[in-house]
Amino acid sequence: MSIKESPEQTAPPGEAGTVAVRFKRRRRRFDYLPYLLLLPTTLFLAVFFAYPMIQSLVTAMQDSQGGFTFDNFNTMFKDVNFSDALRNTILFIVLMVPLQVVLALIMALVINTGLKGVGFFLYIWTVPLAISDLAAGIVWLAIFTERGYINSLLTQLGLIKLPISFLSYENPTWLFTAVIMAELWRATSIVMVILVAGLQVIPKAYSEAAEIFGASPWQRLRYVILPMLKPSLQVALILRTILAFQTFAVVIALAGRALPVLAGEAYNWYNGYRNVGVAAAYALLILVLSIVNTAVYLRLLQTKTAQMA
């Protein structure tokens, strides 16, 4: 009976809450196995990720003959919809992300109380994870449209005589509200799941100790739980904002072209005007904004934790 290798067990501290026991590899020969296992993903991500990023730069700088040009960026910046798209996208993020994080936090805290029936609520609150943004847009279209359920309800209650046109281009505020509502409904679960996981890791001892010392629930939340939740909050914020920069199908479903957003404009230039260059310029813009935004989040939340320490 030959034994190919004898694993030595080591138990380094794994992620909090799990003891990750791993094989410590013999150092006799260069250990290729883990790297071999990682190779497919690394290759795949390099090809279909790093390469397109470069390609987007190249395409954005190309004109139809393949020569170098800034024209695409010019066209993009001067486009009549550009400033609206930029403003709408940023406004959307600024309004929606904080709302969503607060709502997700409330939901996560409710789940964390461990009351009876909390599992059932979690079950329901994670349902929107299955829903695509296009479907969410259609669902809320059914609610907000002129012949939709809100107007129907208001008419039945006798509060209005004629249906309100929530989703017309003359009503940009309501258009915006509808989009925010739909995204709030759909995407809060994404943030909530991250926060629930993060809350689970916080040892109850801290909160209980604070309680013994007379801290009110609000104080406990603010000074004990939230600081310890910072890593999860950071991850949730970054993820959600990146996704929000790409908001597309919800807007199209609810507002058509009445509400320009960056991703929508990229799509229009690609599909409608058949101009890959300008579309790539928009793509590049979204990419750059996302990176800057992530850096800002990292910086912002990093400094605070240092202050807390």
Residues from 89 through 118 that contact another protein (CB under 8 A): 106-107, 110, 113, 115, 117-118
Rounded to an integer, what distance in angstroms lies between the CA atom of residue 122 and that of residue 252? 30
- Tokens 């928009």 belong to 282
Q: In this structure, are residues 196 and 111 in contact, taking their beta carbons and an 8 Å threshold?
A: yes
Rounded to an integer, what distance in angstroms lies between the CA atom of residue 44 and that of residue 80? 38
Question: What is the H or E stretch that residue 22 is in?
Answer: strand 22-24
Identity of the residue, 44 or 223, whose beta carbon is nearer to another protein in the bound complex:
44
Residue ranges in 191-220 that form contacts with another protein under rule CB under 8 A: 193-194, 196-198, 200-201
241-269 burial, b for 16+ CB within 10 Å, e for fewer? bbbbbbbbbbbbbbbeeebbbbbbbbbbb
Contact flag: residue 127 with another protein (CB under 8 A): yes
What tokens were used for 297?
């989040």
Out of 86, 131, 164, 202, name the contact with another protein by CB under 8 A: 131
Interaction mask 258-277, another protein, x per CB under 8 A? -----x--xx--xx----x-
Identity of the residue, 83 or 271, whose beta carbon is nearer to another protein in the bound complex:
271
Identity of the residue, 210 or 278, whose beta carbon is nearer to another protein in the bound complex:
278
Please count the residues of this chain forming the interface with another protein, following the rule CB under 8 A. Answer: 110
Q: In this structure, are residues 205 and 198 in contact, taking their beta carbons and an 8 Å threshold?
A: no
Out of 73, 82, 176, 245, name the contact with another protein by CB under 8 A: 245
Interaction mask 133-172, another protein, x per CB under 8 A? xxx--xxxxxx-x-xxx--xx-xx----------------
Identity of the residue, 21 or 307, whose beta carbon is nearer to another protein in the bound complex:
21
Q: In this structure, are residues 195 and 104 in contact, taking their beta carbons and an 8 Å threshold?
A: yes
